[in-house]
Structure 1
Amino acid sequence: MSASPQSLDAWLEKQEVVKDTITAFPLAALAATLDRTEAGDVVPPMWHWLYFLPVSPLAEKGPDGHPKRGGFLPPVPLPRRMWAGGRLTFHEPLKVGERAVRTSTIANIEDKTGRSGRLVFVTVQHTVEVGGELKIEEEHDIVYRDAPHPDAPPPKAAPAPEGETWRRTIQTAPVLLFRYSALTFNSHRIHYDYPYVTGVEGYPDLVVHGPLIATLLVDLVRRELPDATLQSFAFKALRPTFANHPFTVCGKPCDDGKTIDLWAKDHEGYLTMRATAAIA
């Protein structure tokens, strides 16, 4: 499959509308997965990713387990794709029983060349509404990359910051990845298929989901500041995190009392994700 930057631009402004009913079971299942006890009917921030799931026939899967490209997302001709980051604004929480509507728009497509080869960044804008009332705004960044070259040097890693106020270590047993994949109907093979992720995509082990790490960073804030209200959250994935090694989520409140600096680091102390939260 080949696609020029000009042909990819034909996907700009393409829209998709998905409706879903906010049900209780996914919340209970993710709470159990994250060792939390959730009460009430309010969807915690970041847990809206349990809804509006892409349900595609198995016959339409691509070689990486995702649906074949060229539907809503553009047919980027690069084999590896990752959730690169995002920016979210939370206006009002979703509640169990509500009928919600998510409108998604392809907002930007950027074709670049980096040290590892060609990179294509796709930004998708989402709005989530209930009865015409805006609940969540989100920008979702996806990066597509070339296959790894066997002689390519490993990407440069940066050490994580020090001086965190909060920290929590997460054990990345494959069952955690399996549960999160199941809850988000994510069939991307890098999260569960060891022969594929090591032999085809060239990673040393199963890859921990970027949105799971982002959710755990917000979860750290919720554990430390249970009465705070999350207003916005922005994150950027910097380096893959791999299964069968623990990683740590860290946080440090800023002097303004409203902003929290957040990051994740792997078992070697390298920075894997950077984030900022704003609370009220």
Structure 2
Amino acid sequence: MDLDIEHLRGWIGREETATERLTPDLVRRFAATFDRTWPLQPGNEAPLLIHFCLAQPTVPGAELGPDGHPARGGFLPPVPLPRRMWAGGAFRFHTPLRVGDSVTRRSTIADVTLKHGRSGPLLFVTVEHKIRARGRLALTERQDLVYRAAAPFSPPAADPAAQGSSVRRLMPGPVMLFRYSALTFNGHRIHYDAPYAREVEGYPGLVVHGPMQATLLVQFAADLKGSCPSRFAFRSVSTVFDTAEMEMHANCEGDSLRLWTAQAGGPVAMEATASW
């Protein structure tokens, strides 16, 4: 497939802005999804990475592609490759979001690059988000998206993940994945439509969201250190499914934590670094 990279790079610099209130009801649903409790009074600090649930694109069903993603074009460039995944990202935390805040997200296409992998062309789109509330910058985010050709899922030939000095385990069942998709208004069918995930995209089960894994790792890091990190960066390496337990691991490295997820007995799925 020929990709007109110069045409797609014409989207660099494109911006969009959206605003939504961080309500107590949203905090209640977010906390329940992650089996946590949270104080709901206005003014209390909100859970980390709850901004993923705010000011998301609300595309009508008629404008979605067969995979549940918005059809190509609009804010994101019209990449003709059919598979889109979250490849990684980074956060810098400036000031906490609080329950009751009116939260504004300003998004900018920062870069569009073409690379070639073993499976063919890989088109990377970098999006930068600035999240503001109460007239102040709350956090900045870099989001790395990757587009690729359709191909049957092939398990990575990699060694099982190492054990961290701290480990947390959970079962990412279909209810949890469905709830997180609903919270983030994410229509991507690989996260909640098991027949589609297996029969069309060739996965052995439902795919655990990259942002959800990142949220779980940030929560794990904050629990271990007792405070929110100032920076957090992560990269997706392989895939976690709802077919077995997911493990979260952490090792201290000076003032930072190195973290990673893995399917039980499987290779590293996401690797991350949190620093204070």
| TM-score range for the pair, normalised by the shorter chain length | over 0.9
Give a deviation string over 1:196-242, Cα, whole Å, max 9, x none: 1122212121111011111111111233333x232110000100111
CA contact (8 A) 1:159 1:271 kept: yes
- 1:263 has 2:265 as partner: no
User: What amino acid maps onto 1:88 in structure 2?
Assistant: F
Q: How many residues align?
A: 273
1:202 equivalent in structure 2: 202
Distance 1:259 1:223 in 2: 13
Cα deviation, residue 158, structure 1: 4.2
1:173 equivalent in structure 2: 173
Cα deviation, residue 46, structure 1: 1.4
Distance 2:256 2:222 in 1: 14
Alignment of 1:116-127 (within 5 A): 116-127=119-130
Distance 1:192 1:99 in 2: 30
SS at match of 1:206: coil
Distance 2:13 2:187 in 1: 26
Distance 2:224 2:155 in 1: 36
Alignment of 1:123-202 (within 5 A): 123-148=126-151, 154-162=155-163, 164-202=164-202
Give a deviation string over 1:9-46, Cα, whole Å, max 9, x none: 11111101111111111211121111111125211221
SS at match of 1:230: coil
Distance 1:161 1:14 in 2: 41
Distance 2:173 2:131 in 1: 32
RMSD, matched Cα: 1.7
Cα deviation, residue 131, structure 1: 4.1
Distance 2:66 2:2 in 1: 15
Distance 1:146 1:223 in 2: 39
Distance 2:228 2:68 in 1: 36
Distance 1:169 1:126 in 2: 30
Distance 2:246 2:9 in 1: 38
User: What amino acid maps onto 1:6 in structure 2?
Assistant: E
Distance 1:103 1:198, change over 3 A: same
Distance 1:242 1:128 in 2: 30
Distance 2:228 2:65 in 1: 39
Cα deviation, residue 47, structure 1: 1.7
User: What amino acid maps onto 1:46 in structure 2?
Assistant: L
- 1:107 has 2:110 as partner: yes
CA contact (8 A) 2:63 2:71 kept: yes
Cα deviation, residue 263, structure 1: 0.5
CA contact (8 A) 1:157 1:239 kept: no
Deviates more, 1:264-273 or 1:121-130: 264-273
SS at match of 1:220: helix
Alignment of 1:1-280 (within 5 A): 3-40=3-40, 41-148=44-151, 154-162=155-163, 164-226=164-226, 228-254=227-253, 256=254, 258-279=255-276
User: What amino acid maps onto 1:79 in structure 2?
Assistant: P
CA contact (8 A) 1:45 1:230 kept: no
Unaligned runs of at least 5 residues, structure 1: none
Cα deviation, residue 149, structure 1: 5.4
Unaligned runs of at least 5 residues, structure 2: none
Distance 1:23 1:215 in 2: 19
CA contact (8 A) 2:161 2:265 kept: no
Distance 2:45 2:134 in 1: 17
Distance 1:189 1:229 in 2: 32
Cα deviation, residue 101, structure 1: 1.4
Give a deviation string over 1:232-261, Cα, whole Å, max 9, x none: 10000100111121110011122x2x2111
Cα deviation, residue 55, structure 1: 0.8
Distance 1:42 1:91 in 2: 13
Cα deviation, residue 2, structure 1: 7.2
TM-score in terms of structure 2 length: 0.94
Distance 2:152 2:129 in 1: 34
